[in-house]
Structure 1
Amino acid sequence: MTKRIGILTSGGDCAGLNATIRAVALRAHHGHGWTTVGVRYGTLGLLERPVEAVPLDPDRLSAALARQGGTFLGSTNRGDPFAFLMPDGSRMDRSGEMLDGLKQLRLDGLIGVGGDGSLAILRKLLAPSGIPFVGIPKTIDNDVGHTERAVGYSTAVAIATEALDRLQPTGTSHERTMVLEVMGRDAGHIAIAAAIAGGADVVLIPEVRWTLENVVAHIARLRAVGRTSALVVVAEAAGHSDEAADPSADAPDHGVGEWLAKRLARATGAEARATVLGHVQRGAMPTAEDRLLASALGVRAVDLLAEGKGDHMVAWWNRQVIDVPLSKVVGRSRTVDPDGTLIRTARALGICLGDAA
């Protein structure tokens, strides 16, 4: 019977992580009489001697913790155990040291909160240890496979939508095109959701091939009917249209948002300004939806360990918490479906996606 479990957060931070940690510790204590240990700084904490870990006392995990952004345990998005970057620039396999750290903690199970990359690394790391492992999906990009929602996504969309709400009056006042660049390393989930919720005129995502010409034409149509400003949302991974005669000479200093604003101003003759949200999307107080999701997934993750069901990830699907074998998750990202509901909704609302459709 599992009696002492660990939890760590890995990868980029996001809202809802503290709510997840709290849910795991409370369920372990109240539901099963177990103790929970929090590993500090993701896998990096396993390299320290003694291991960087703290007991999670349920009496000290108040509801106030669930309201806080980030992760009080700390996290890391560097330090691949199998190719760890050393001070001299070389790479070294330090997975054995990390496994030894886990053994020192005397864990009967481990819960890892991370995106697809983190979950893949943790699964590989724990495979030879015999320690049951359960994953909880978290990423603002919402690109983990086999789950409709990941912890952190709802808050990121809310922040991007609020940014659009604030940019619209400025754009109208100065007759400008306002370009908002949002995160989305490989997927456009934040961009398409925020564009619909925030009433954007254009949204550009990596899943839909777009050209600058189509964007310029759409803005021209808006002006023809009396609109003097426009809202444009672009995912950081949307790429650049191939309109530039010499792309290298036209390269942006700070991402696609700046590039797009410069090109739109040149093509339309109207002012354009770029706003890059960047890490602002990660650090806010989590929305109610993220707190609910974090709590439900955290509780089920503990129960999976109680059932002896390791090597699984908990997921949200059809308004239910389910579990999925990690073998079906790792190495498979979930991007925006070009024929899915959100794309169809955006088109139906007259939002331009920069393609010919």
Structure 2
Amino acid sequence: MGQKRIGILTSGGDCAGLNAAIRAVVCRAVGTYDWEVLGIRQATQGLMHSPPQAIRLELENVDSLRVAGGTMLGTTNQGDPFAFPMPDGTRCDRSEDIIAGYYQLGLDAIIGIGGDGSMAILRRIAEQGNLNLVAIPKTIDNDVGVTEHSIGFDTAVNTATEALDRLHFTAASHSRVMILEVMGRDAGHIAITAGIAGGADVILIPEISYTIANICHKIKERQEQGKNYSLVIVSEAVRTEAGDPVVITNRLGQCRYGGIGDYLADRICDCSGAETRVTVLGHVQRGGTPSPLDRLVASAFGVAAVDLIAEEKYDHMVTWQNRQVVSVPIPEAIAQYQAVDPSGTLVKTARGLGIYLGD
């Protein structure tokens, strides 16, 4: 097997475990195959530059990355390469610049670490430019269809669970309803997993509808049992009772989820009389030291991705299925969005524990 030069980039929102995956790629590619690894700065934007922004990754560069949060390469979740925002306010197709950067670096293949949106863009570019692409799934939302674990999810759940654990004490001390708003985009995996683990009394996810009246019934039921406080965890994508999304638009005109916790707090206070407080966990879920499981999954994915390149098995994504790493074609990986199954094990577990999970 001849020596190869491969690139690696992280795309989309950051999360814990990305550096562990980068480390694993370098350890396998350099240590086993004696290949050269180039880290691409700021996702595909690094390939747009001339010369491309890339650094050579050696074993000594990555030795301590296992426990480091974020990504040493930087990332971005803004700027569609096919309609890239230019300084004059126009939009331009920069895909050919990315392809040119790949060839200018002399890459034999590239590993893209991202969610389903990033993978769709990377694959489109790879097809257009005949690039050899292998993908690794990462997203705290855990909504990539064919993998049981995506890098970053477990750490986000641990963070949300710890927040619930801490809120128990202050809620009980003041006889309050505490609402914890968590991330998840359009899927409720973080909310339901952390909610069960952290002892929430109410879990609200976008996959299951709810009523304020039934939330208040649960709170009053606990009060009648002598339990003077309640914990509510809600996914950011949960809508109002009328079905409207709750969003925030910033000064740049960018729209994102946010505010469902405050919406619920006002209405719960009105119908239950309970003093209510809101905690928005936000980007705390993305940062920090990766959990042992995220380190393990990221390491296994990194090694497997390099092995796919060695086999010249391109246009595939590594996945975690049935306690092992396997690969699937990228189109299959991103074809199905993985929401919480309303009839699945987690929903049955929550309801079996007496948690209000919607109607």
Q: For residue 308 of structure 1, what is the amino acid of its counterpart?
A: E
Structure 2: how far apart are the matches of 1:149 and 1:162?
20
Quote the offset at 1:90 in angstroms: 2.0
Q: Give the C-alpha shift of residue 60 in structure 1.
A: 2.4
How does the TM-score come out when normalised to structure 2?
Answer: 0.94
| Contact preservation (8 Å) 1:212, 1:243 | no
**CA positional deviation for 1:110:** 0.4
Question: Structure 1 residue 88: deviation in Å?
Answer: 2.7
Match of 2:352 among 331, 335, 348: 348
Confirm or deny: 8 A CA contact 1:212 1:354 kept in the other structure: no
Match of 1:338 in 2: 342
1:53 alignment counterpart: 54
Q: Is the 8 A contact 2:3 2:34 kept in 1?
A: no
Using the TM superposition, name which of 256-265 and 293-302 deviates more: 256-265
Distance 1:43 1:156 in 2: 25
Equivalence for 2:300: 296
Distance 1:339 1:254, change over 3 A: closer
Tell me the residue number matched to 1:211. Answer: 211
Q: Does the CA-based 8 Å contact 1:20-1:298 persist in structure 2?
A: yes
**Displacement of 1:243 after TM fit?**
9.7
Alignment of 1:218-297 (within 5 A): 218-242=218-242, 254-297=258-301
Q: 2:283, 2:204 → 1: CA distance?
A: 20
Report the counterpart of residue 42 of structure 1 in structure 2: 43
Deviation of 1:345 (Å): 0.5
Q: Identify the residue that residue 5 of structure 2 maps to in structure 1.
A: 4
C-alpha displacement of 1:298: 0.4
Task: Provide the C-alpha distance between the structure 2 equivalents of 1:195 and 1:82, rounded to a whole number of angstroms.
Answer: 39
Deviations 1:19-54 (A, max 9, x none): 000000110012211110000000111111211100
Amino acid at match of 2:336: R
CA distance in 2, matches of 1:309, 1:158: 34
Alpha-carbon separation, structure 1, partners of 2:266 and 2:90: 40
* CA distance in structure 2 between the partners assigned to 1:354 and 1:172 by the alignment: 24
- 1:18-167 aligned at under 5 Å gives the runs 18-62=19-63, 64-167=64-167
| Cα contact 1:2–1:306 (8 A) shared by 2 | no
**Take 1:30 and 1:102, find their aligned partners in 2: how far apart are those partners?**
23
Count of residues in correspondence between the two structures: 348
Aligned partner of 1:300: which letter? Answer: A
Partner of residue 314, structure 1: 318
Tell me what 2:18 maps to: 17
User: 1:192 and 2:192 equivalent?
Assistant: yes
Q: Percent identity?
A: 56
Q: Residue 122 of structure 1: CA displacement?
A: 0.4
- 1:87-124 Cα offsets, whole Å, 9 max, x none, are 23322111011111111110000000000000110010
Is 1:120–1:331's contact at 8 Å kept on the other side of the alignment?
Answer: no
- Deviation >4 Å, runs of 4+: none
**Secondary structure, counterpart of 1:72 in structure 2:** coil
Distance 1:86 1:212 in 2: 45
Deviates more, 1:255-264 or 1:18-27: 255-264
CA contact (8 A) 1:211 1:242 kept: no
Q: 1:325 is matched with which residue?
A: 329
- 1:331–1:89 CA distance, 2 compared to 1 (3 A): farther
1:254–1:319 distance in 2 versus 1, CA, 3 Å: closer
Determine the C-alpha separation between the residues in 2 that align with 1:164 and 1:17.
25
Relative to structure 2, which stretch is displaced further, 79-88 or 175-184?
A: 79-88
Amino acid across the alignment from 2:73? L
Offset of 1:55 from its aligned partner?
A: 0.2
User: Counterpart of 2:213 in 1: which secondary structure?
Assistant: helix
SS of residue matched to 2:307: helix
The SS at the match of 1:339 is coil
2-structure distance, mates of 1:330, 1:120:
7
Shift, 1:254, TM fit: 4.8
- CA distance change for structure 1 residues 181 and 102 in 2, over 3 Å: closer, same or farther? same
Contact 1:205 1:238 in 2 (8 A): yes
Q: Distance in 2 between matches of 1:337 and 1:354?
A: 13
Gap change, CA 1:300 and 1:184, over 3 Å in 2 = same
* Secondary structure of the corresponding residue to residue 347 of structure 2: helix
Where does residue 305 of structure 1 map in the other structure? 309
TM-score (norm 1): 0.95
Q: Distance in 2 between matches of 1:243 and 1:298?
A: 41
SS for the counterpart of 1:134 is strand
Quick check: 1:203–1:353 contact (8 Å CA) kept in 2?
Answer: yes
d(CA) in 2 for partners of 1:129, 1:91: 21
Gaps of 5+ in 1: none
Does the CA-based 8 Å contact 1:2-1:109 persist in structure 2? no
Task: Please name the residue that 2:253 is paired with.
Answer: none
Range with greater deviation from structure 2 (318-327 or 89-98): 89-98
SS state at 1:18 partner: helix
Structure 2 gaps, min length 5 = 248-256
Separation in 2, partners of 1:347, 1:48: 53
CA distance in 1 between partners of 2:351 and 2:3 (Å): 51
